[in-house]
Amino acid sequence: MEGFFSLASCFQTQSEPAFCGLASLAVVLNALAIDPGRRWKGPWRWFDESMLDCCEPLDKIKAHGITFGKVACLAHCSGADVRPFRANQVTVDDLRRHLIHCTSSRDCHLIASYHRRHLKQTGTGHFSPIGGYHAGQDMALILDVACFKYPPHWVPLALLWEAMNTIDESTGLLRGFMLISSHNAAPSALYTVSCRDESWISMARYCVKDLPDLLKAESLDNVPTLLSHVIDSLPANAGSLIKWVVEVRRKDEDGPCLSKEEKERLFVKQVRDTKLFMIVHDLQCARIQCCNRSSSSEDSITRIAASVCCQGAAMLSGNLASRKTCFQGVQANGDGANTVNSGSVVSEGNEQGVDMLLPMSPCSMSSCNSNLDNEIIKYPSSTDALTVLLLALHPSTWLGIINERLKAEFQTLVSTDNLPDVLKFEIFHLRRQLCYLKTCKDKEYEDPVPVPPSGP
């Protein structure tokens, strides 16, 4: 019962009939003392259901509930280490072993996804954390987050397993359980993957299905041709997959300024020192010049540049009150002049300073001749986003290149072996996120079956 006490101190009931997954996750994240990275109310950092909207819009969850894969994704995006197990991947003995481990520690908790019918309860699919294990009677303590219906209750583990070993009609996949613990590595401070707009769907399919076929083209005989081929075929929303964490907090609990380490992370010079960046930059400049001479529709680079944004965008463009807003022009390599919207955002009575980057269309840019070596770099460009995306793709992505000489040359360009430690950390962070999103969620979006809303 060691894990019970931290869960009980953070326990909450779900605020909506379909929010069982969100409530269960909020309880576990708070029990693990994971920092949400933003304030809840006043000065306090605390996970609440309303903050868990990264992987699925809250309105959609309220109407239709949330799937097993989406809960696992939310836990990952919230800074936790997640190990999801569907019922066809494990046995009841595996469940027992993991449950004993979790309930004997405060460092790991188990969330069960099960069907209430097997427990002779009203409702259908449900999520709840498990708060204890009785070895003598082989029973699990369910801390039901729908406590307006059921208080915490003990159930035979074999019966709980039966309830887990059921199919979620919305996905056609089995339910199961997930182990959630604190992530050992620090969260990224410069790059992160956003699945809020579901751009991961098209990008995952592009990387897994489309890109390997594209790389087999015999016409690819040099790096610029290869990169042009890859960039031309990118999904229209590829750039929105990577969000730049350039939100500048000038008023926070710890003081008015960013720390020295945070300031260093905001600079993207390490990306621009790579040979890969210079090649992508030259390609983009050529496209910008072509765009200036032609009235044709925007290419993929243009769309990507227009979609790159920072986390502060939601704050300044949403319903939060803002004031002291001003605009200024800055230079970003590869993109020319950009607009920075600087202002103060008031939320829950607290004022926070935010700088938001608003990239301009490349058709109006003329900065390709800017001095990349001497320029003071503060804000990222779409070229940075493309470079980082290419570096973050798994190394096996490029094994399909037919030309062996080109394959070796390109693998050297995207290698992380000689990158600075800070940049290498950020690239590995992105790569883990991309791999996790693809493996945890891609199958759930293969021809989803719509179902009517159900109660808790």
Strand 191-193 and strand 242-244: the pairing is: antiparallel
272-276: long-range contacts, CB 8 A cutoff, minimum separation 24: 272/333, 272/372, 272/377, 272/384, 274/387, 274/391, 274/413, 274/419, 275/413, 276/387, 276/390, 276/391, 276/413, 276/414
Catalytic residue among 98, 109, 115, 126: 126
Task: Mark whether 20 is an active-site residue.
Answer: yes
Radius of gyration of the chain (CA): 24
Catalytic residue among 20, 73, 285, 291: 20
Which whole-number Å values give the CA distances from 440 to 42, 74, 200, 444, in the listed order? Answer: 34, 11, 12, 8
Number of residues assigned to the chain? 456
Q: Please list, in sequence order, all residues whose beta carbon lies within 8 angstroms of the beta carbon of residue 205, skipping any fewer than 6 positions away.
A: 442
Catalytic residue among 98, 144, 291, 440: 144
Strand order across the beta sheet in which 350-359 lies: 321-332, 336-347, 350-359
d(C-alpha 131, C-alpha 1), whole Å: 7
> Among 417, 416, 432, 423, which residue's Cα sits nearest to residue 384?
423
> Among 406, 388, 446, 434, which residue's Cα sits nearest to residue 172?
446
User: DSSP string covering 234-286, please?
Assistant: S-TTGGGGEEE-----SSBTTBSS--HHHHHHH--HHHHTSHHHHHHHHHHHH
Task: Mark whether 310 is an active-site residue.
Answer: no
> Among 191, 189, 188, which residue's Cα sits nearest to residue 386?
191
d(C-alpha 197, C-alpha 237), whole Å: 9
Q: Are 226 and 406 in contact (CB under 8 A)?
A: yes
Q: Are 70 and 445 in contact (CB under 8 A)?
A: no
Alpha helices in 180-222 (DSSP H): 199-205, 211-214
Task: Mark whether 107 is an active-site residue.
Answer: no
Instruction: Judge residue 46's burial from the number of C-beta atoms within 10 Å of its C-beta, 0-12 exposed, 13-18 middle, 19 or more buried.
Output: middle
| Residues involved in catalysis | 20, 126, 144
